[in-house]
Amino acid sequence: MGDPTTELEQLRTELRRREAEVAEQERQLQRYAADLRETFKQERERAQQLRDSYVATVRALANAVEARDAYTGRHAERVASYALMIARAHGTTMADDPQAEFGFLLHDIGKVAVPDAILFKPEPLNEAERSLMERHALVGWEILRDVDWLAEAKAVVRHHHERWDGDGYPDRLAGEEIPLAARIFAVADTLDALTTDRPYRPGRSLAVAREIIAAHAGTQFDPAVAEALGRLDDDALDAVREEHT
């Protein structure tokens, strides 16, 4: 048996060594944590930059379509604002997804393929002209087809002229077969079309536009979406028009 004093001394030394080791491991862990925090922060910043450049690209595309049409002006931006407001009133979380807004902004991108003579014809379109005009929904979807990150947005582009009763185009979807974002968009688009001046008629008042949309709930429009518009007050809708004219 060894000297108890020496043994105690050895145990103390061993204990100190272990404590030092633990302290070193602790410091190591803290360094890892700090590195991770820094990496996350950089990653978040990069993701934000990426999102910003997506938004800028989408806006540039939307503006390219609008630049042709002096009458509709900033239609895409107004419609996107209306649609987001209606989405919130409807209670869907869709409004928080930037994808939906991209789809709203790009809805008429397919009009790049519609000749000016048809796009700006003040008289009613004949059968052949109308079918050319109606192709813009499918053409728009085809333009964006391979852009994977626009998945949800593409549904709005393709289906923004479907009708609740199945009488729309291009796929004659009905009711809830139509993606919700497209059902919401249809109401917003009509609201803006009605309240905007056209070469052949002045814009209607908000009150008249509301009546027209309510009268087409259940045929052209999803009744729940039309109701959501009914819950928005005039001031909020007027503010959109004032901001984007």
Question: What is the contact surface with Fe ion in residues (CB under 5 A)?
Answer: 108, 189
DSSP 198: B
Buried b / exposed e over 4-22, threshold 16 CB at 10 Å, is eeeeeeeeeeeeeeeeeee
> Whole-number minimum distance, CB 101 to Fe ion, in Å?
14
Peptide bond into 170 cis (omega under 30): yes
> Whole-number minimum distance, CB 144 to Fe ion, in Å?
14
- Tell me whether residue 161 or residue 210 sits nearer to Fe ion (CB atom): 161
131: three-class secondary structure by DSSP: helix
For residue 233, what are its two tokens? 């007050």
- Tell me whether residue 138 or residue 174 sits nearer to Fe ion (CB atom): 138
- Tell me whether residue 42 or residue 225 sits nearer to Fe ion (CB atom): 225
For residue 93, what are its two tokens? 């979380």
- Tell me whether residue 103 or residue 222 sits nearer to Fe ion (CB atom): 103
Q: What is the rounded distance in angstroms from the CA atom of residue 102 to the CA atom of residue 104?
A: 5
> Whole-number minimum distance, CB 134 to Fe ion, in Å?
9
Active site residue 111: yes
For residue 127, what are its two tokens? 């059968």
Q: Which of 41, 111, 121, 154 is catalytic?
A: 111
> Whole-number minimum distance, CB 224 to Fe ion, in Å?
21
Show which residues are catalytic: 111
